Amino acid sequence: MIEVERLRKSFVDLTAVDGVSFTARPGEIFGLLGPNGAGKTTTIGCISGLLTPTAGRVRVMGHDVVRDGRAARQALGVVPQEIALYEDLSALENLSYWGGAQGMRNPLLRDRIAKVLEITGLQDRAREPVKRFSGGMKRRLNLACGIVHQPRVLLLDEPTVGVDPQSRMRLLELIRAEARAGVCVLYTTHYMEEAETLCDRLAIVDHGKVIAAGDLAQLRSMLAERDLLRLSGVFHPAAARAALERIGAIEVLQADEGLLILSLAGASGKLPSIFAALAACGADVRGTTLTQPSLESLFIKLTGKELRE
Amino acid sequence: MRFVWIAALKELRCLRRDPFSVLTWMGIPLSIALLIHLIFGGGQAVPQGRLLVADEDNTIVSDMLTSAFGRDPLGKMLTVEKVDAPAGRARIDRGDGSAFLLIPKGLQDAFLRNQPFRIQLFSNPSQRILPKMVEETLLIMTDGAFYIQKVAAGELRPFDSGRSPSDDAIAQRSVDIRHLVTGLNKYLSPPLIELETTVVVEKQRNVTRPSFYFPSMIFMGLLLMAGGFASEAWKERTFHTLRRLAATPAPLASFLAGRLAAVALLYFAVAALGVATLRWLAPGEVSHPLAAVVWAALSGTAFFLLMLPVSMSASSQRAAQVLGNLVIFPLALVGGCFFPLEIAPAWMASIGRLTPNGWAVTQFKAILSGSLRPAHLAVAMGGLVAVGILAFLLALRSLRRGLLA
């Protein structure tokens, strides 16, 4: 279990995490969703003991990460965003080293290495130097090094960045298996689809703050089943906003000279009237995207910007 | 404690997979040492030259003059070749020979009659040492002849008859000269003044001797390795393994200790190889090989620890290498690792001995020569260990700071 209470982390000229609170339970995949620079990695750094919180409290399996850091770290498995491996060593040697760093000894370590090599599909390449591995294989080994010691809490910091779809599917399946085995998984990502398909509960963070939290159903209800309509072209923002508001039941989330983002129920049925209103005020619509209610549309609704910005 | 060995094993495995870096660090000083050895041949360099002599007098006195150049030590440096005057002059004009000595007819005659006489020496301007030696030797001999003339002209004059003297005449003149020398003895050696002369033979510095330059080369290798190992530590940051390690229960101090153990082991092997090579190159000039190996290995390990904070303070691995070189090369130059401190200017040598490597290489040479007493060696070792502990703490701090960078 991970308990984060009013966590704050400030650097000299920046507050990266500002009052973040959440709880992740055993057997659950808890997602931290947010754009780059939102404070996800800093939050992971504070939980793993790499960074000392400026304020607030973090506990891992009941152990305070500042006061009882060693016990907290014994329960943790960390899979960093970057591939943190020794490229000159083989997969076997890497697993042996990271298992040793977690205090594991033979023969248990040997058995676990064999097991994780099997589940990550790397047993045939176990004795090869990692520098000969593909990107996907390195990602799998990166995960294997984080779970070799059977942690009760697993921190995964964007583990699928730059991975091909096939390897991504395999990684996600491995993570689900860990959760099914009772491991508490904290998963950070900026991929909406990944968060939607993988996570049981989510916290959406931006500028170091949690702006929404709950399970998928709770988060979707915040959108009230409204679609997201994105129109690109040439607009007079004030005139367009006025014209659209006259139609009624349309919420203008963003209006600038090149882009309009609207939130509305039953958007497909209202498209003709929207186009007519915009044409009447001199707008030139060149592209239209209609999105069903999703985490992405929620994020845009909450922050007024796209997640990948 | 167990993780120390796990980390050390990991380091050694990484080094085994990339042995070229270590070979490169050791290769530079070894190449320099080999070049010095090949160029100077490891022995005494003796200049060789040719003295052309045209002896037109061809008498006992002229013979005595020219035979002086055939005796040691000049005989080892000069080959005396008899030529006639025109040939000798032509050859020295062409630069063929170190000098040309022309002894005109009448030398013995003038010497016995105590009359002025001129002999001529033509030297080769493209050579400096040998012509000067010939000139100085001739000056000494002409001075000697002058004093012989002053004290024994009367005894020598009867030989100036143009004929070979009889055996009786030679015996009689010998007795006369002996009496003359005995008579002069009381003036030459006044009994109340006794002069004791001690000839001090200066210990020759031979820069071509392996025991002179090789220790510096060993320490240059140790310094380069220290810089290399320290910048290698940057890889832990580049590959994010240091941050990952910080999220495990393994203490960072154990990780550093493991790395240190691996580095020390490698230093031990390199130092042993260096000292063994020195023993082979200079048999009998390595007094305490084991102490020398331990000292070199400890020194190298301390250099690594001192270089680690320097490396970790850089903003990238590339910058760490540049910064390391900026520290190492001046240190090597001033601290007697490029060339021995003994041949450096006095002011530079005194500064050099204050540098960590200068101090270490000075102690190392003292251990090799056997001039460092056990008590002093123990104190020096203690000092080195103390510096090592301090450097370890500094390096640990720099690693922790590196985690946040």
DSSP B146-197: HHHHHHHHHHHGGGTTSSPPPHHHHHHHHHHHHHHHHHHHHHHS-TT-----
Pick the residue with more confidence: A88 or B174? A88
**What number of helices (H) and strands (E) belong to chain A?**
11, 14
The answer to whether residue B187 sits within a structural domain is: no
The answer to whether residue B61 sits within a structural domain is: yes
Interface of B with A (CB under 8 A): 2-3, 6-7, 10, 13-14, 17-18, 239-241, 243-250, 403-404
- Residue B256 and residue B304 share a domain: yes
- Among the partner-chain residues A50, A97, A102, the one whose CB lies closest to the CB of B10 is A97
Work out the minimum CA distance from B46 to partner chain A, whole angstroms.
Answer: 53
Interface of A with B in 22-51 (CB under 8 A): 48-51
Q: What is the pLDDT of residue A90?
A: 94
Lowest mean pLDDT among A278-287, B18-27, B41-50, B378-387: B41-50
Q: What is the pLDDT of residue B153?
A: 66
C-alpha radius of gyration, chain A, whole number? 23
What pLDDT digit, counting tens, does each position of A117-167 carry? 998 889 999 999 999 998 889 999 999 999 999 999 999 988 888 788 888
Contact check, Cβ <8 Å, B247/A49: yes
Contact check, Cβ <8 Å, B240/A82: yes
Work out the minimum CA distance from A202 to partner chain B, whole angstroms.
Answer: 24
Please give the DSSP secondary-structure letter assigned to residue B48: -
The answer to whether residue B276 sits within a structural domain is: yes
Is residue A49 within 8 Å of residue A64, measured between CB atoms?
Answer: no
Cα B252 to Cα A101: distance, rounded to the nearest angstrom: 10
Question: Can you tell me the ipTM of this complex?
Answer: 0.79
Residue A284 contacts B, CB cutoff 8 Å: no
Query: In terms of CA atoms, which chain A residue is nearest residue B235?
Result: A86
What are the chain A neighbours of B2 within 8 Å (beta carbons)? Answer: 100, 105
- Among the partner-chain residues A86, A103, A129, the one whose CB lies closest to the CB of B239 is A86
* CATH code of the domain containing B97: 3.40.190
- Among the partner-chain residues A51, A74, A84, the one whose CB lies closest to the CB of B244 is A84
Q: What is the pLDDT of residue B17?
A: 83
The answer to whether residue B189 sits within a structural domain is: no
Residue A93 contacts B, CB cutoff 8 Å: yes
Residue A83 contacts B, CB cutoff 8 Å: yes
- Among the partner-chain residues A48, A87, A93, the one whose CB lies closest to the CB of B239 is A87
Cα A27 to Cα B322: distance, rounded to the nearest angstrom: 49
- Residue B260 and residue B156 share a domain: no
Pick the residue with more confidence: B200 or A159? A159
Superfamily of domain A227-292: ACT-like. Chain A, domain 2 (3.30.70.1150)
Cα A247 to Cα A227: distance, rounded to the nearest angstrom: 16
Percentage helix, strand, coil for chain A under 3-state DSSP, each rounded to 5: 40, 30, 30
Cα B333 to Cα A11: distance, rounded to the nearest angstrom: 42
Cα B375 to Cα B379: distance, rounded to the nearest angstrom: 6
Query: Which pLDDT band holds residue A250 (cuts at 50, 70, 90)?
Result: confident
- Among the partner-chain residues B13, B18, B239, the one whose CB lies closest to the CB of A85 is B239
The answer to whether residue B71 sits within a structural domain is: yes
Looking at the DSSP bridge assignments, the partners of residue B50 are: B79
Contact check, Cβ <8 Å, B10/A89: yes
Pick the residue with more confidence: B22 or B191? B22
Q: What is the pLDDT of residue A168?
A: 85
Number of folded domains that form chain B: 2
- Residue B116 and residue B10 share a domain: no
The answer to whether residue B6 sits within a structural domain is: yes
Interface of A with B in 145-184 (CB under 8 A): 145, 155
What are the chain B neighbours of A100 within 8 Å (beta carbons)? Answer: 2-3, 6, 250
- Residue B339 and residue B239 share a domain: yes
What are the chain A neighbours of B317 within 8 Å (beta carbons)? Answer: none
- Among the partner-chain residues A50, A82, A89, the one whose CB lies closest to the CB of B14 is A89
The H or E element containing residue A57 is strand A55-60
- Residue B247 and residue B219 share a domain: yes
- Residue B309 and residue B358 share a domain: yes
Q: What is the pLDDT of residue A109?
A: 93
Q: What is the pLDDT of residue B70?
A: 76
pLDDT at B185 over 60: no
pLDDT at A220 over 80: no
Is residue B153 within 8 Å of residue B80, measured between CB atoms?
Answer: no
Work out the minimum CA distance from A84 to partner chain B, whole angstroms.
Answer: 5
Q: What residue has token string 């409204």? A: A226
Tokens of A73: 């770290």
- Residue B363 and residue B216 share a domain: yes
**Residue ranges, CATH 3.30.70.1150, chain A:** 227-292
What are the chain A neighbours of B4 within 8 Å (beta carbons)? Answer: none
The answer to whether residue B174 sits within a structural domain is: no
- Of A5, A40, A19, nearest in space to A202 by CA: A40
- Among the partner-chain residues A51, A101, A129, the one whose CB lies closest to the CB of B248 is A101
What pLDDT digit, counting tens, does each position of B327-350 carry? 988 888 888 887 788 777 888 888
- Among the partner-chain residues A50, A74, A97, the one whose CB lies closest to the CB of B249 is A74
- Of B396, B399, B359, nearest in space to B379 by CA: B359
- Residue B218 and residue B322 share a domain: yes
Q: What is the pLDDT of residue B47?
A: 56
Contact check, Cβ <8 Å, B247/A78: yes
- Of A85, A45, A39, nearest in space to A69 by CA: A45
- Residue B27 and residue B70 share a domain: no
In single-letter form, the type of residue at position B373 comes to: R
Q: Which of B162, B197, B232 is the last residue of a domain?
A: B162
Query: In terms of CA atoms, which chain B residue is nearest residue A52?
Result: B404
Is residue A70 within 8 Å of residue B249, measured between CB atoms?
Answer: yes
Mean pLDDT for all residues in chain B: 79
Which of B236, B244, B256 to mutate against chain A (most A CBs within 10 Å)? B244
Measured over all CA atoms, what is the biggest interatomic distance in chain A, rounded to whole angstroms? 77
What are the chain B neighbours of A51 within 8 Å (beta carbons)? Answer: 404
**Domain that residue B69 falls in:** 49-162
Contact check, Cβ <8 Å, B246/A50: yes
For A2-221, which CATH class? Answer: alpha beta
- Of A198, A186, A196, A193, nearest in space to A43 by CA: A186
Query: Which pLDDT band holds residue B118 (cuts at 50, 70, 90)?
Result: confident
Which of A10, A46, A78 to mutate against chain B (most B CBs within 10 Å)? A78
Cα A219 to Cα A199: distance, rounded to the nearest angstrom: 12
Which range has highest mean pLDDT (A303-307, B370-374, B380-384)? B380-384
pLDDT at B202 over 60: no
Pick the residue with more confidence: B76 or B10? B10
Is residue A2 within 8 Å of residue A58, measured between CB atoms?
Answer: yes
The answer to whether residue B222 sits within a structural domain is: yes
- Residue B237 and residue B154 share a domain: no
Q: Which of B162, B197, B229 is the last residue of a domain?
A: B162
Residue A86 contacts B, CB cutoff 8 Å: yes
What pLDDT digit, counting tens, does each position of B281-327 carry? 877 778 888 999 999 999 999 999 899 888 888 888 888 888 888 89
pLDDT at A298 over 90: no
Query: Which pLDDT band holds residue B239 (cuts at 50, 70, 90)?
Result: confident
Chain centre to alpha carbon of residue A173: 16
Cα A277 to Cα A246: distance, rounded to the nearest angstrom: 9
Query: Which pLDDT band holds residue A23 (cuts at 50, 70, 90)?
Result: very high
Cα four-point dihedral sign B381, B382, B386, B389: positive
Query: In terms of CA atoms, which chain B residue is nearest residue A80?
Result: B244
Pick the residue with more confidence: B211 or B320? B320
Cα A256 to Cα A59: distance, rounded to the nearest angstrom: 44
Cis peptide before B210 (omega within 30 of 0): no
Q: What is the pLDDT of residue B143?
A: 72
Q: Which of B107, B134, B162 is the last residue of a domain?
A: B162
